Amino acid sequence: MLLELPDDRSSIAALGAGTSCNGVTLFVVRRHGKAEIYSSRGETARLELVIDSADPNARIIERRDVHGAVWFLLLAFPTYQPARNVAMSFDGVTVRCFADFIDLSDFDVDARGGRVVFTHWQNGDRHLTVKELQ
């Protein structure tokens, strides 16, 4: 697969970690202070989402395969400070954001896919919130 980025000599692009689901690869490219998420189906890559990222090591951290979709954290900011990391899922077709916390630090899903725990910042303190999935 070849990913062609615009010829912009003022910035350097860096490849971040990725994951795959149903034969489709999802990966992060960091450039211009953004994290760009691409999906790759064979020879073609498609831009799925762009978010701001202050972390030069922005990457995808896979959490679990739940009901045919991979759930992952887009780590765009360090977890030790309030910032907008994004909890997402990908079923091989659609990338979905599913956390409703503004200052998400991290999350994890239990083995059955029935419960998710979010670590988030609120008023300068870290909190854990557990949600039951339906």
Give residue 35's pLDDT: 87
Asked, for residue 8, whether it belongs to a domain, the answer is no
What does the alpha-carbon distance between residue 125 and residue 39 come to, in Å, rounded to a whole number? 35
Pairing of strands 44-52, 125-132: unpaired
Asked, for residue 27, whether it belongs to a domain, the answer is yes
- The number of distinct structural domains making up the chain is 1
Mean pLDDT for the chain overall: 83
Give residue 8's pLDDT: 61
For residue 79, give the CATH number of its domain: 2.40.128
pTM of the model: 0.79
Look up tokens 């978010």; give the residue.
51
Give residue 3's pLDDT: 62
Q: Which domain holds residue 92?
A: 14-99
Residue 59, beta-bridge partner list:
75
Asked, for residue 124, whether it belongs to a domain, the answer is no
Give residue 1's pLDDT: 52
Query: pLDDT by residue (tens digit) across 80-90?
Result: 878 788 888 89
Q: Across residues 36-61, what is the average pLDDT?
A: 84
**Residue type at 18 in one-letter notation:** G
Which one is predicted more confidently, 27 or 84? 27
Q: Is the pLDDT of residue 5 over 70?
A: no
What does the alpha-carbon distance between residue 63 and residue 108 come to, in Å, rounded to a whole number? 6
Q: Across residues 86-107, what is the average pLDDT?
A: 85
Asked, for residue 69, whether it belongs to a domain, the answer is yes
Cβ atoms of residues 117 and 134 within 8 Å = no
Give residue 75's pLDDT: 85
Asked, for residue 60, whether it belongs to a domain, the answer is yes
Asked, for residue 7, whether it belongs to a domain, the answer is no
Q: Across residues 12-16, what is the average pLDDT?
A: 74
Q: Cα separations (Å) of 103 from 6, 14, 64, 85, 126?
A: 31, 25, 21, 7, 9
**Residue type at 122 in one-letter notation:** Q
